[in-house]
Amino acid sequence: MRKEFGAEQYFEDFAPGDEFRTGPVHFDEAGIVAFAREFDPQPFHIDAQAARHTLYGGLIASGWQVCAATFRALVDAGFLRGGGMGSPGLDELRWKKPVRPGDDLEVRLTITGTRPSNSRADRGYVDFAVDVRNQAGETVMSYRVTEIVRRREA
């Protein structure tokens, strides 16, 4: 069921099947190049001219930028506000389509499972499927991630 993030979210507030979406995350050439110069200076991320002669046919965003910028959109939307305790990791990250200057991405987050911690009474684990789509509705990136979330009574 599609939901909105509340002012705060704790372990008890998440149920499998819940879905959340963010507003659009815009990518432009200057932002793509600036991120890549700092973190991923490969030719198809930092040089629009050179990128024309690669398999991508033009500048594309670093996959790490797609991860980080869409995560920011989740935090801005209120994701894990209050209860977030970090993440042990993620799985099956796939960069499926290039993200190019002018693209606007939407993040769709679906809860796939929840389980209380066996060893710590104050927290639980919430599993999410992340599906990032561009303005054409194409999935450009997806992954599964687990977050550690504080219990409301803790």
Give the interface size with its own copies as a residue count (CB under 8 A): 33
Min dist. Cβ of residue 150 to its own copies (A): 9
The Cα–Cα gap between 123 and 129 comes to: 20
Backbone Cα Rg of the chain: 17
Using the rule CB under 8 A, is 7 a contact of its own copies?
A: no
Asked if 109 and 21 touch (Cβ cutoff 8 Å), the reply is: yes
Using the rule CB under 8 A, is 88 a contact of its own copies?
A: yes
Using the rule CB under 8 A, is 137 a contact of its own copies?
A: no
Give the dihedral sign, CA 45/50/55/57: positive
Min dist. Cβ of residue 2 to its own copies (A): 24
DSSP one-letter code for 58: S
Using the rule CB under 8 A, is 28 a contact of its own copies?
A: no
Using the rule CB under 8 A, is 5 a contact of its own copies?
A: no
**Burial level of 99, CB count in 10 A (0-12/13-18/19+)?**
buried
Among 55, 136, 137, 153, binds its own copies (CB under 8 A): 55
Residue ranges in contact with its own copies by CB under 8 A: 38-42, 44, 54-56, 60, 62-64, 67-69, 71-72, 75, 80, 84-96
